[in-house]
């Protein structure tokens, strides 16, 4: 029987650069990661199982899978399909998958998790900016306050993960600091750190750098900054930094 690629689920508080991480993973020749490809199967009535990650099911969109029309943006889908049996990982990016860890472990015990954590100010600012866009998929009251609340919740879960769980936690600011961090991440995942599309990686880092270089206060008033500082659960954040799952890049 041909060995199937390992299943990898990517998560993190919404607006924590989980999409950028997924695009970065897909630049590697041995990875094929969806973009909320099984969103409904995970976050509604949990129906995900390992057969969802087998060919041709993995790359054939079915009703009830997700709200996206494009589940593999910025991916050479044909190339990945042709090499499917030789891939090291297939998986999906679903930011709040950390809320479904028990269900995933029950359905797919061999699944691996990769979580990314972003600075609380950046998450709060991204929530605020999205809420101000009049986007029907993002309620106007899902502002910086909700961002901090979600950041707290995610960190509490990630800081208390079962030590036996096959999971890694990384920091967005570390990962997108320099392109060599991509190679360190690939190596951590057991991949050839040089087997990636260098042009695509450079483009990802150019965009990420422009985000990281913005003023840390993100145009918040002092009152809003004080509110964020008071409501952010930095104790849980520090706990995840000392977790056995934390990977310093």
The pLDDT tens digits for 42-69 are 999 999 999 999 999 999 999 999 998 8
Q: Are 123 and 16 in contact (CB under 8 A)?
A: yes
Q: Is residue 123 in a domain?
A: yes
Query: How many whole angstroms separate alpha carbon 155 and alpha carbon 115?
Result: 10
For residue 14, pLDDT beyond 60: yes
Q: Is residue 149 in a domain?
A: yes
Model pTM score = 0.95
Q: Is residue 17 in a domain?
A: yes
pLDDT of residue 83: 94
For residue 18, pLDDT beyond 60: yes
Side by side, which strands form the sheet with 89-93? 31-35, 89-93, 6-11, 112-117, 167-171
For residue 2, pLDDT beyond 60: no
Number of domains in the chain: 1
Q: How confident is the model at residue 1 (pLDDT cuts 50, 70, 90)?
A: very low
For residue 152, pLDDT beyond 70: yes
Q: Is residue 73 in a domain?
A: yes
Q: Is residue 1 in a domain?
A: no
For residue 136, pLDDT beyond 50: yes
Q: Is residue 249 in a domain?
A: no
Q: Is residue 145 in a domain?
A: yes
The chain-wide mean pLDDT, for the chain, equals: 93
The proportion of the chain whose per-residue pLDDT surpasses 90, expressed as a percent, equals 84
Q: How confident is the model at residue 75 (pLDDT cuts 50, 70, 90)?
A: confident
| Integer angstrom CA distances of residue 162 from 68, 116, 243, 248 | 32, 17, 10, 19
Give residue-wise pLDDT tens across range 196-246: 999 999 999 988 877 766 665 578 999 999 999 999 999 999 999 999 999
The range of the structural domain enclosing residue 10 comes to 6-241
Domain CATH code at residue 219: 3.40.50.300
For residue 126, pLDDT beyond 70: yes
Q: Is residue 248 in a domain?
A: no
pLDDT of residue 19: 93
């Amino acid at each position: 029987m041909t060995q199937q690629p390992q299943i990898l689920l990517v998560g993190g508080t919404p607006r924590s650069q989980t999409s950028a991480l997924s695009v970065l993973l897909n630049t590697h020749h041995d990875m094929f990661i969806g973009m909320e490809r099984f969103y409904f199967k995970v976050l509604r009535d949990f129906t995900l199982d390992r057969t969802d990650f087998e060919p041709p099911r993995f790359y054939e969109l079915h009703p009830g899978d997700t709200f996206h029309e494009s589940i593999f943006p910025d991916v050479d889908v044909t190339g990945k399909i042709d090499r499917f049996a030789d891939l090291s990982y297939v998986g999906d990016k679903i930011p709040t998958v950390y809320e479904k860890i028990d269900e995933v472990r029950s359905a797919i015990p061999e699944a691996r998790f990769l979580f990314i954590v972003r600075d609380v100010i950046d998450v709060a600012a991204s929530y605020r900016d999205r809420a101000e866009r009049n986007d029907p998929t993002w309620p106007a009251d899902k502002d910086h306050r909700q961002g901090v609340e979600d950041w707290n919740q995610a960190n509490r879960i990630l800081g208390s993960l079962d030590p036996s769980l096959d999971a890694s936690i990384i920091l967005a600011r570390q990962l997108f600091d320099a392109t060599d961090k991509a190679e360190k991440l690939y190596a951590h995942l057991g991949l050839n750190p040089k087997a990636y599309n260098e042009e695509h990686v450079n483009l990802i880092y150019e965009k990420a750098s422009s985000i990281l270089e913005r003023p840390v206060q993100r145009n918040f008033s002092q009152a809003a900054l004080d509110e964020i500082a008071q409501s952010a659960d930095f104790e849980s954040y520090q706990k995840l930094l000392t977790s056995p799952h934390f990977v310093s890049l």
